[in-house]
């Protein structure tokens, strides 16, 4: 929320939804519904890619997860950023970015590195800004607007990590 507020002061910003990493499916629908309600109320333009290749995604993520969480997240970032860059390129946007740069618990430097690499490959610049400075503001905006706030990153592995800690 806060990234949109700040970035739209100087840029025309379109939100892109592509999140095959969110499990289970009801959580995916919950986050999508929340995004749709908020962007509609605020008049924010959105492009949706509702691809959800659950078997392929989970097989790949599970295979990598057995080796390391870092490899799993690298795959996940790459998948989502590549799709975002392609959509930006096809639709003639000047740049693409990601709200992954907002969350303090993401692998920030890895997101930046992958985004910049993909930007060069696809031919559309990756817009980098350390959005973590807006994290608290974003949380506050979500609380005030009554917007659903996710309890874990997205994939089923992150859901287990999150709730295992509380109920080992
Ligand atoms: S923890 Fe988050 S970034 Fe990592 S694979 Fe799962 S959904 Fe993707």
Is the preceding omega at residue 97 within 30 degrees of 0, hence cis? no
- Asked whether the predicted pLDDT for residue 165 surpasses 80, the reply is no
What lines the ligand 1 site, CB under 6 Å?
21, 61, 72-73, 76, 153-155, 157-158
Residue nearest to atom 3 of ligand 1 (CA): 73
Contact 121, 78 (CB under 8 A): no
Tell the residue nearest (CA) to atom 4 of ligand 1: 73
Q: Does pLDDT of 121 surpass 80? A: yes
Cβ proximity of 144 and 11 under 8 Å: no
Token pair recorded at residue 149: 């706030």
Ligand 1 atom 1, closest CA:
158
Could you tell me the distance, in angstroms and rounded to a whole number, from the CA of residue 10 to the centre of ligand 1?
30
Cα(40)–Cα(46) distance, rounded to whole angstroms? 9
Residue written as tokens 């907002």? 102
Assigned token pair, 36:
């749709």
Question: How many C-beta neighbours within 10 Å does residue 25 have?
Answer: 10
Beta bridge partners of 126: 96
Q: pLDDT tens, 76-110?
A: 999 999 999 999 999 999 999 999 999 999 999 99
Q: Phi first, then psi: what are they for 124, rounded to 5°?
A: -140, 130
The closest of 81, 71, 75, 158 to 112, measured between CA atoms, is: 81
**CA 140 to ligand 1 centroid distance, Å:** 24
Q: What is the per-residue pLDDT across 139-157, written as a single tens digit (0 to 9) for each?
A: 999 999 999 999 999 999 9
pTM (two decimals): 0.95
Residue 91, token pair as written in the block: 């639709």
Residue listed under structure tokens 């303090």: 104
Contacts 24+ apart (CB under 8 A), 158-165: 159/23, 159/27
What are the boundaries of each domain within the chain? 2-166
The C-alpha atoms of residue 5 and residue 23 are separated, in whole angstroms, by: 28
3-state secondary structure (DSSP) of residue 48: strand
| pLDDT confidence of residue 166 | 66
């Amino acid at each position: 929320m806060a990234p949109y507020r700040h970035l739209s002061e100087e840029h025309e910003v379109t939100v892109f939804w592509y999140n095959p990493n969110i499990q289970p499916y009801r959580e995916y629908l919950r986050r999508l519904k929340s995004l749709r309600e908020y962007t509609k109320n605020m008049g924010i333009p959105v492009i949706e890619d509702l691809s959800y290749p659950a078997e392929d995604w989970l097989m790949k993520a599970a295979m990598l997860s057995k080796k390391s969480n870092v490899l799993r997240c690298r795959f996940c970032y790459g998948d989502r950023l590549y799709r975002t860059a392609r959509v930006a390129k096809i639709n003639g946007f000047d740049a693409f970015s990601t709200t992954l740069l907002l969350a303090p618990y993401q692998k920030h430097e890895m997101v930046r590195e992958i985004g910049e690499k993909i930007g060069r490959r696809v031919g559309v610049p990756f817009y980098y800004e350390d959005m973590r400075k807006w994290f608290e503001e974003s949380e506050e905006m979500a609380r005030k607007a009554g917007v659903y706030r996710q309890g874990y990153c997205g994939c089923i592995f992150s859901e287990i990590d999150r709730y295992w800690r509380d109920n080992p």
